[in-house]
Amino acid sequence: MTKVSLAISTCPNDTFAFHAILEKQIDLRGIDFNVRLLDIQQLNNGLFAGQFDVAKASFHAAALLTDQTVVLPSGAALGFGVGPLLLSAQTGLNPDQVSGPPKTVLCPGTHTTATMLFRIFYAQAIKNGNVSLKQSLFSEIMPELESGTADFGVCIHEGRFTWQDAGLDCVEDLGTRWEAETKSPLPLGGILANRNLGNDLIQRVQSVIQDSVQWGLDHPDQTIPTMRKHAQEFSDEVLMQHVKLYVNQWTVELGEIGQAALRGLSKKATFCGIVPENAAPIEVWKAVE
């Protein structure tokens, strides 16, 4: 057996997609996966520290790790209507008001794609000193907004479905803005493999992950106990809403549309100075013929 350290998030889309690996429901192709489930910023930090062979990461982090990793074609989260929301406890605000007097904006981690998107769309407000970014655990952002400790918060994951229950107001859907400007699905995160694994092992890992995603799509009801075990939100309805939103054709295989979306994200991030100009673009792995 070949040992491979694999780290994924606790989000329902990941526990759904990787359920068949966690429960050994498919052929693992001779790989002994040592799986860890972590918050997305912990995953990003672990990748920067070289702790994992294969791991889920924000595409923000992927854009900064192109010399060490490749993105696998399967297991990604991207699509239409999946973007982070800019929320506020105050009602009736619009995006222009973010650029008023200095505001504190909560973000779910330095290298999350949500933070990258906010930095892309509000680059001028940040440059002018109208906005101060504060990083917070994603599950704490809505409670902090409710308590009045910040002016705005960039909300991800299950919060997309529960923010109204918390009495918050949506100032802007950052994903909708991305779609309007690019006409492409929003790339949020994907599976990164360390280049040092070599082509043969990466091929086996990719095949297992693709099989696992497809198994989940073929047996959705059987994945619910795994999702419920790790999710912040325990309603089965919300769990499946999450899966339907984040697990789609591009999770099975990025394809040309998914790869084009990644190129677009890299270009915007470089233009805004979030990624160094000399950084290589995000590379999606493909088998060597």
Neighbours of 241 (CB within 10 A): 16
Helices (H), the chain: 12-17, 19-22, 40-48, 59-64, 113-121, 123-127, 138-147, 159-162, 174-182, 199-218, 224-230, 236-246, 249-252, 255-271
Residues in Cβ contact with 261 at an 8 Å cutoff, skipping those fewer than 6 apart:
78, 182, 184, 185, 186, 187
Active site residue ranges: 157
| CA–CA gap between residue 18 and residue 207 (Å, rounded) | 12
Look up residue 149 and give its DSSP letter.
S
Sign of the dihedral defined by the CA atoms of residues 64, 66, 68, 71, in that order: positive
Residue type, 205: V
Side-chain half-sphere CA neighbours of 32 within 13 A: 3
Q: How far is CA 260 from the centre of its chain?
A: 17
| Residue in 36, 40, 17, 20 with CA at minimum distance from that of residue 28 | 20
